[in-house]
Amino acid sequence: MLGFKNITNADYSLIALFSILFLFFLQMLSGLVERIYAYALLNSEPDENILGLLFLLSPLVVLIFWKRAPNVVLLISGELMIIARLIEPLVTQQAVYIMAGLSVGSFFVFFGVFLTKVKKQEQKISVDMAIGLAIGVAMSIFYRTANSTVDISQYGWNQIIGWALGILASVILVGIYLRDRDEYLTDKDTATSEEPTQKVGFGKILGLTMGLFSIFVLLWFVFMSPTVIARWTEGNYFGIVVGIVGMLGVFTGVMLWKPDLINYLKSWVIAIWNAVFAISLTMTVLVHQIFFTNDPASFPLLAPATQWFHHIPLALAILTSPIIYLNFIFLVREIVNLKPKPSQIGGSFTIGGLFIIIMLFVQVLPNVWGYLPPISFWFRDQYWLAFFIPAFLLSATILLIGPSSMKLDKLVKKRNSKIGISVIFGIILIGTITGAILTTPRPNYSAEGKTSLKILTYNIQQGINVSGEMNYDGQLELIRAINPDIIGLQECDPTRISGGNMDVVRYFASNLNMYSYYGPKTVTNTYGCAILSKFPISNALSFFAYSDEEQVGSAQAQITVGSRVFNVFVNHPSGDEDITTIYQAQEMVSRTSGLADVIYMGDFNFRAYSAEYNITIGAGLADSWKTRYGLPTEDRIDHIFLRPYSIPSFMVIQAHYVEEGQSDHPAYWIEILL
C-alpha cells in the first residue's frame, strides 16, 4: 500500500518530483511568453505587458539570504510554483501570464536554492534530476501529441492530469522538507565544516549556470514540441516525434540501468559529441533558411524544394540530442560540488533569466524585422542565431567541468524502482506513438455527385480572438459551421515560442479531417499561409514577394475535385510603402498567369478600387463578391478572386462575411457551382 512515507521516501521520489517540476516549468515558460506576445500582437507593437518578462529575473529574491537559505524557502517556492501552474489554465486576460510568470519565477528560486542545499549523494541527485528532466520533456511531447500539439493536460477536463501531478509533487516536496536532515539536503544550522576549503569564484558559477540556462532555452525552443522541427524542415512529423522520444528513452534507460557506461567516454569524445550536436542543430535550421535580397526584380522567389540530404543534420541533431541531458548531469554535479552560496546562485540565475529574455528576442525579431527599427533590421534572416547561441554556449561551458564530475559510478537503486520508471517511460512512449497515429487526418471525402464547392479564407491571427485569448476551438467551430471544402488560412504560424510552440494548422487539419499544406517553412520568418482541403492536394509549394517590412510568403497548390484541378493560392501581402504593395500585387498575380480554374484568396490588405485591387482585376481575376452582388465591397480587405469567372465555369451562388470576434478578421466564404 502506498502511504505518505512510501511516496516521499522511495528512491524514485526525486525523479518523480523533478519530472513534474520540469514539465510544469516548460509549460509555464511557454505560456508566459505566448500570452505576452498575444497582447503585443493585438497592438502591433510592444506594450506594458512586456513587463511580465521581469518574472524571469525572480532569482534576485535569493540574494536576500546571501550565505545560507532556510529550508522552508524550498517548500514555499516549490509549492507556489505548483499552485500557480494549476491556477493558470483557469484564469483569463493578464492573469494568465501573471500566474505563468509566478510559476516560472518560483521554479528558478526553488531550483537555485536546491542546488545550494545538497550535501551528499551528489551523483544520485544529479542523475535523478536529469532523468526527471528527460521524463518531463517526454511528458510534454506526449501531452501535445495526444491533442495535435495543444497540451492536453492544460485543456478542458483533461486538466485533471495536471492536478494529479501537482498533488503528487506537493506531497513529495513536503516529504523532502520533513526529512531533509536524514537525507541529502543541508540543514540551515549545519556547521560550516562542509564549506569548501577553497573560495569559489562567481565567474565559474556563472559559467556553469549559463550552461544550465542554455539547456532550458534549447528544450523550450526546440524539443518540448517536435512539431517545431517538423515545420522548420517539412520533415515527417511522426518520425521526428518518435525519434526524439526514442532518444529520451535511450538516455533514461542507460542512466537507470548502466550509468557507468558513460565512463568509457573520454572527455574529448564528449566534447566532439557536443560539437556535433551544436553544429547539426544549427545546420538543421540553416539549410532551410533563405537569405532575401532588397531587389524587387528578384521576386517572386520560389522556395527551394526540400531534398533528402537536407534531413541529414536533422537526423544527426535528434541522434545526438541525449547530450543535453548528460551535460545537465555534469553541470549540476559541478555546481553542487562547488557548494555555492545563495548569493552566487541568485546572481548567476538572475543573469541566466536575462539570457532567456535576450534569446527570446533573438528568436522573435527575425519574424518582425521591419517593426522595431533600427535594431530589428539586424535580425532579418538570422533565425538560426537563436539556436546557434545556446547550443554552442552549452558546448563551451562543458570545458568548466572537472573530471570528477564527469565520472559516473553504478548507482544503488532498487530493481523494482528501475523497472517501474522504465514501465512509466514505456507508457509515455506508447502513448506518444498512439497519439501521433490517432491524430493524423485520414480524409475520405468523395466528389461523386458534388455540384458545388465552398471556399473559405480566414486570417486567424495566430489562433487568437479579438480579446487576445487563445481561441483555436472558437475558430474551429466557426469553420465547422461553414463546412468548407477548401480553406485558405493566414497568420497561422504559431509553431514558435511566440505562439506557445503549438501548430494550429495541424490542429485544424486533425479535427476537420482534411489534407493540409503549410507554407513557407517557419525558418523563413513569415506569418504563414496554409491550404486545407477535403480533396487531395498536389504540387504544393511556397513563393515570396518583395517586402520592406516583413517577409511575405504565399502558398500555392493544386486540388483535384472529381475531374477538375483547381489552382489554389493563399496570400497575405504587407508593406510599409505603397510602392512595395504594388510590387507585391504584380509579383503575386504573375504566379497565376496562364492558369485556369484559379482560386486566389487571402488577407490582401487592400480595398476595392485601390491600385493593388486594379492590378489583380486587370490580370483577369474576378472579385467573387462583385460576381455575386454586382458591386465590390468597399470596406473589406479579405477577398477571394476567381479565374475563369463566367458562367458556367464559375458561378458564385453564395458569398458571406462572418464578422470578426473569433479572430480580428472576418471569415469570408463563398460557394461556387462546379
List pLDDT tens digits, range 581-633: 999 999 999 999 999 999 999 999 999 999 999 999 999 999 999 999 999 99
Alpha-helical (H) ranges within 88-158 are 94-117, 122-145
Q: What percent of the chain has pLDDT over 90?
A: 74
Q: Do 127 and 152 lie in a common domain?
A: yes
402 with 351, same domain: the answer is yes
* Residue 156 pLDDT greater than 60, yes or no: yes
Residue 198, C-beta contacts closer than 8 angstroms, at least 6 positions apart: none
Higher pLDDT, 110 or 494: 110
pTM: 0.94
**C-alpha Rg value of the chain to the nearest Å:** 27
313 and 267 share one domain: yes
Cell 487568437 sits on residue: 464
**Predicted confidence (pLDDT) at residue 218 exceeds the cutoff of 50:** yes
Looking at residue 549, what is its pLDDT? 84
Q: Is 155 in the same domain as 283?
A: yes
User: Stretch 251-272: mean pLDDT, rounded?
Assistant: 90
Domain count, the chain: 2
- Asked which of 228-237, 293-302, 367-376 is least confident by mean pLDDT, the reply is 367-376
Position 48, amino acid = E
Residues 421 and 565 in one domain: no
* φ, ψ for residue 46, nearest 5 deg: -60, 145
Q: Are residues 483 and 600 in the same domain?
A: yes
Q: Is 447 within a domain?
A: no
CATH number, domain at 399? Answer: 1.20.1250
Within this chain, do residues 487 and 601 fall inside the same structural domain, yes or no?
yes
Q: Does 263 score more than 90 pLDDT?
A: no
The answer to whether the peptide bond before residue 520 is cis (omega within 30 degrees of 0) is yes
Phi, psi dihedral angles at 670 (to 5 degrees): -135, 165
Same domain, 487 and 355: no
Band of the pLDDT at 377, cuts 50, 70, 90? confident
Question: Are 320 and 356 part of one and the same domain?
Answer: yes
Q: How far is CA 553 from the centre of its chain?
A: 20
On whether residue 201 sits in a domain, the answer given is no
My answer on whether 493 and 433 are in the same domain is no
pLDDT of residue 123: 83
Structural domain span for residue 360: 4-191+215-290+306-438
pLDDT tens digit string along 160-191? 999 999 999 999 999 888 865 455 555 544 43
Residue 380 and residue 487 in one domain: no
Write out pLDDT tens, residues 447-468.
998 999 999 999 999 999 998 8
Domain contains 332: yes
Residue 670 to residue 625: CA distance in whole angstroms: 8
Considering the domain boundaries, does residue 300 fall inside one? no
Over residues 538-549, the pLDDT tens digits come to 999 999 999 988
Q: Find out whether 533 and 487 touch, Cβ atoms under 8 Å.
A: yes
Residue 90 has pLDDT above 90, yes or no: yes
CA distance 462 to 229: 18
CA torsion angle 178 182 184 185 (round to 10): 50
What mean pLDDT is reported for the chain?
A: 91
Give the type of residue at 103: S
Asked whether the predicted pLDDT for residue 481 surpasses 90, the reply is: yes
pLDDT at 189: 42
Same-domain check for residues 462 and 594: yes
Which spans in 258-375 are helix H? 267-286, 312-320, 323-338, 342-364
Does the pLDDT of residue 413 top 70, yes or no? no
Helix axes 578-590, 611-618, angle to 10 degrees: 10
User: CB within 8 A of 37, min separation 6: which ones?
Assistant: 364, 498, 499
**392 in any annotated domain:** yes
Residue 649 has pLDDT above 80, yes or no: no
pLDDT of 41: 63
End residue of a domain, out of 405, 438, 471? 438
How many other CB atoms are found less than 10 A from the CB of residue 112? 30
Which among 282, 288, 261 is positioned nearest to 394, based on CA atoms?
A: 282
Q: Return the number of other C-beta atoms located less than 10 Å from residue 605's C-beta.
A: 17
Nearest alpha carbon to residue 418 among 617, 254, 196: 254
Rounded Cα distance between 474 and 511, Å, is 13
